Amino acid sequence: MSARQTFVITLCVILTALGAYLVWRLSEIVLLLLGAIIFASAVRPFVTALDNRGIPRGLAIVLIDLLVIMTVIGLVIVSVPPLITFIVTVVQSGVLSTKLTQLATRLAIFGWDRFQVLIPVISLPGQLNALIAQTGEEVQQQAWTMTQSTAVGLGQTVLLFTMAFYWLTSREQTLALLLLLSPKTQRQNVHAIWNDIEFRLGAYVRGQVFLMMIIGLASYLGLLALGVPFAPALALIAGITEAIPLVGPLIGAVPAVIVAFTVSPVTGLLVAILYGVIQATENNVLVPKIMSSNVGLNPLVIIIAIVAGSTLNGVVGALLAIPLAGTLQVLAQHIWLTPTLATLPHEEVGAGGSESTPNEESTTELPAPEVILADSIEAPDARLGPAEIQVITPNLPAEGEP
């Protein structure tokens, strides 16, 4: 290895390590940019539709952003504050503790009468009261920290929408610059990769919104059937927390179970079972099916990606796991899989995977010669496709010649 090659390799290693360090240090900005790109990919079809109707592109982006923000804020303002007031009143009045005490007593009596087993549930109400008191103290102690975190979250949300706005307005220029910097022979492939990634990112967000609507509607119908008060607000919380993988449905179930216990212990248990069934159906049926059809990923890959993302970076990692997995699949397909399949012999990648043999009848349409003799057809080269197979037509004697 020459000194020049050693220098180039060393420089590449140093630059790679420096780039990885910068990404790690600026991970918050990188995640915000990725979130902005995902959101922009989701709303781009609607922006394009408004643009085609004569509305300026910048104004169309602002209108859609405002529609999304106002819809979320309106739903939260209408539904959540009455629910919070109700829960605080229930906790302070001790109704929840009384209901739990009744349930624990009934369970203990049932276990002793039927099975002569003492179920250790008598202490649950006292433990719940201690937990509520401890939670209240922690909320008071962390009030300033929670306020700061809320302000930071709102600022990051505004920054995300701003970055999405500029990404949508400069998309065509960015794509043109990327194609200009790419080799001429790879520009078509780069363009296809860009479009595929953008489509899958947008499809992921639209699929996630569809999931949230399904979970919210199922929760609303179930709570309404069980006679639980504040069913719209509880269903809204279930739908919003659905966006949080793994722990989101559990967070959304807690307020519903608390409110249901104020009705009766049996209603509380039925609501817990309802949310458990919804959670199981979502994890095992809805998420794999909907996300696989929208993002194009195998259901097993989706589950592995969510678990891996949550392990690496908690809730944020789980949120970004599926779009990142879809992006990696697109890159692997265009950069490695498609070129590799193109270099394989035609027999290995043909329909049905069956090998063709010489002198065998072929269903491929070939240019029809005047006369074809089967014994004179040469065996096709295995490296040639069906359109490249040549048929040799022998010279037949003219009419009247011996």
pLDDT, one tens digit per residue, over 230-241 is 888 888 888 888
How many beta carbons lie within 10 A of that of residue 14, not counting itself? Answer: 10
CA distance 365 to 382: 18
Report the pLDDT value the prediction gives residue 128, as an integer from 0 to 100: 62
pLDDT-derived band at 223, boundaries 50, 70, 90: very high
| Averaged pLDDT, 221-238 | 88
Is 395 among the domain residues? no
Higher pLDDT among residues 358 and 246, named by residue: 246
Q: What is the pLDDT of residue 394?
A: 44
Q: What is the pLDDT of residue 396?
A: 46
Q: How many residues does the chain have?
A: 402
Q: At 385, is the pLDDT very low, low, confident or very high (cuts 50, 70, 90)?
A: very low
Q: Which residues does 160 contact at the CB level (< 8 Å), separation at least 6?
A: 32, 35, 36, 39
Enter the pTM of the model: 0.65
Of 110-114, 225-229, 265-269, 381-385, where does the model show the most confidence? 225-229
Is residue 375 in some structural domain?
Answer: no
The percent helix, strand, coil of the chain (3-state, each to 5) is 80, 0, 20
- Does residue 373 fall inside a structural domain? no
Q: Are 278 and 222 in contact (CB under 8 A)?
A: yes
pLDDT for 350 beyond 90: no
More confidently predicted of 225 and 97: 225
Nearest to 277 by CA among 249, 254, 306, 303: 249
Which of 29-33, 83-87, 140-144 has the lowest average pLDDT? 140-144
Annotate 10-25 with DSSP letters as a single string: HHHHHHHHHHHHHHHH
Give the amino acid at 368. Answer: A
Residue 37: inside a domain = yes
The answer to the question of residue 240 being in a domain is yes
- For residue 127, being part of any structural domain is answered with yes
Q: Given pLDDT bands bounded at 50, 70 and 90, which one contains residue 221?
A: very high
Distance, in Å, from the CA atom of 167 to the CA atom of 33, rounded to the nearest integer, reads: 9
For helices 187-226 and 27-52, angle between their N-to-C axes, nearest 10 degrees: 90
Name the more confident of 69 and 108: 69
Closest C-alpha among 266, 189, 194 to residue 226: 266
Q: How far apart are CA 281 and CA 273, in angstroms?
A: 12
| 234 close to 223: Cβ distance less than 8 angstroms | yes
Report residue 101 as tokens: 């005490």
**pLDDT at residue 349 greater than cutoff 70:** no
Report d(CA 319, CA 69) in Å as an integer: 20
Side-chain half-sphere CA neighbours of 328 within 13 A: 10
For residue range 291-335, list pLDDT tens digits in order: 666 667 776 777 788 788 877 777 777 778 888 888 888 888 888
| pLDDT over 70, % of the chain | 69
Which of 51-60, 331-340, 370-379 shows the lowest mean pLDDT across its residues?
370-379
Name the average pLDDT for the chain.
75
How many domains, in total, are found in the chain?
Answer: 1
Give yes or no for residue 337 having a pLDDT over 90: no
Of 63-72, 255-264, 362-371, least confident by mean pLDDT is 362-371
Hey, how many other C-beta atoms are within 10 angstroms of the C-beta on 234? 29
pLDDT at 132 over 70: no
Res 382 pLDDT > 60: no
Give residue 15's pLDDT band: very low, low, confident or very high (50, 70, 90).
confident
Q: Which band of pLDDT confidence, cut at 50, 70 and 90, is reported for residue 222?
A: very high
Q: Is residue 347 in a domain?
A: no
- Supply the pLDDT for residue 273: 93
Q: What is the pLDDT of residue 386?
A: 41
Q: Do 290 and 209 form a contact (C-beta atoms < 8 A)?
A: no
Distance CA 202, CA 198 (A): 6
Q: Is the pLDDT of residue 402 over 50?
A: no
pLDDT of residue 218: 92
**Cα 230 to the center of its chain, rounded Å:** 30
Which residues, in sequence order, are CB contacts of 206 under 8 Å at separation 6+? 42, 294
Evaluate whether residue 378 is within a structural domain.
no
The answer to whether the beta carbons of residues 226 and 260 sit under 8 Å apart is yes
What mean pLDDT is predicted for residues 216-236? 89
**Mean pLDDT to the nearest integer, 145-166:** 82
At 28, the pLDDT band (50, 70, 90 cuts) reads confident
User: Does residue 207 contact residue 295 with C-beta atoms inside 8 Å?
Assistant: yes
CA 160 → CA 69, 164, 310, distances in Å?
Answer: 12, 6, 22
Q: How confident is the model at residue 36 (pLDDT cuts 50, 70, 90)?
A: confident
Look up residue 328 and give its two tokens.
């990696």
Q: Which domain holds residue 215?
A: 27-136+147-342
pLDDT at 355 over 60: no
Segment 163-210, tens digit of pLDDT: 888 888 888 888 888 888 888 888 888 888 888 888 888 888 888 888
